[in-house]
Structures are given as structure tokens and as C-alpha cells.
């Protein structure tokens, strides 16, 4: 389960985030490339922008469920 206290600073403000458990596996970026980006120097993903449509919301949920280390969170906003 993701940890809001370990939310990475690169995440854009909003409901979804990636925490420090990220292993840079590409899964979220493959599923939702318009939402998740890679921080190349630190080698992890982050939420580049929050979803703006129901399709993007669904893609975020799919990425969250597919994350092998549960590093994607939803703070419930």
C-alpha cells in the first residue's frame, strides 16, 4: 500500500501520487504516459499531471492496480 508520508516531491498537487517505493519499472508510464513521467536522475516515476477526464482517471486507477510495489496512491481528494 502506498504511503502518503513518502510521497515524492516531483508529484503534481492533487489526488494521485507516487511514493518512495517506486522501482522505476515503466508500468505506470506504459499505461498512462500522459499522467506519469520518469525522473531520470533519481530513477523513479511521478505524477506529471493529474487526470482531467474520466478516461484519464480510469488509466490512473489501472496503473495503481498494476503497480508491482503499490507505489501509486490516491489521497482521496
22-66: pLDDT as tens digits: 999 999 999 999 999 999 999 999 999 999 999 999 999 999 999
Calculate ∠ Cα 31-61-24, nearest 5°.
Answer: 50
- Residue 73: which pLDDT band, with cuts at 50, 70 and 90? very high
pTM of the model: 0.94
- Residue 76: which pLDDT band, with cuts at 50, 70 and 90? confident
Could you give the 3-state DSSP secondary structure of residue 31?
A: helix
State how many domains the chain has: 1
- Residue 1: which pLDDT band, with cuts at 50, 70 and 90? confident
- Domain residues for 38? 4-74
Q: What is the pLDDT of residue 69?
A: 97
Alpha-carbon span 41 to 61, nearest angstrom: 26
CA distances for 34 relative to 1, 4, 14, 16, angstroms = 23, 22, 15, 13
| HSE value, Cβ hemisphere, 13 Å, CA-based, for 70 | 4
The CATH number of whichever domain residue 59 belongs to comes to 3.30.70.20
Amino acid at each position: 500500500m502506498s504511503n502518503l508520508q513518502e510521497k515524492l516531491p516531483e508529484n503534481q498537487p492533487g489526488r494521485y501520487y507516487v511514493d518512495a517505493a517506486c522501482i522505476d519499472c515503466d508500468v505506470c508510464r506504459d499505461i498512462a504516459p500522459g499522467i506519469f513521467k520518469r525522473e531520470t536522475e533519481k530513477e523513479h516515476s511521478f505524477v506529471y499531471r493529474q487526470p482531467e477526464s474520466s478516461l484519464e482517471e480510469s488509466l490512473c486507477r489501472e496503473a495503481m492496480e498494476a503497480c508491482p510495489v503499490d507505489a501509486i496512491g490516491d489521497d482521496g481528494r
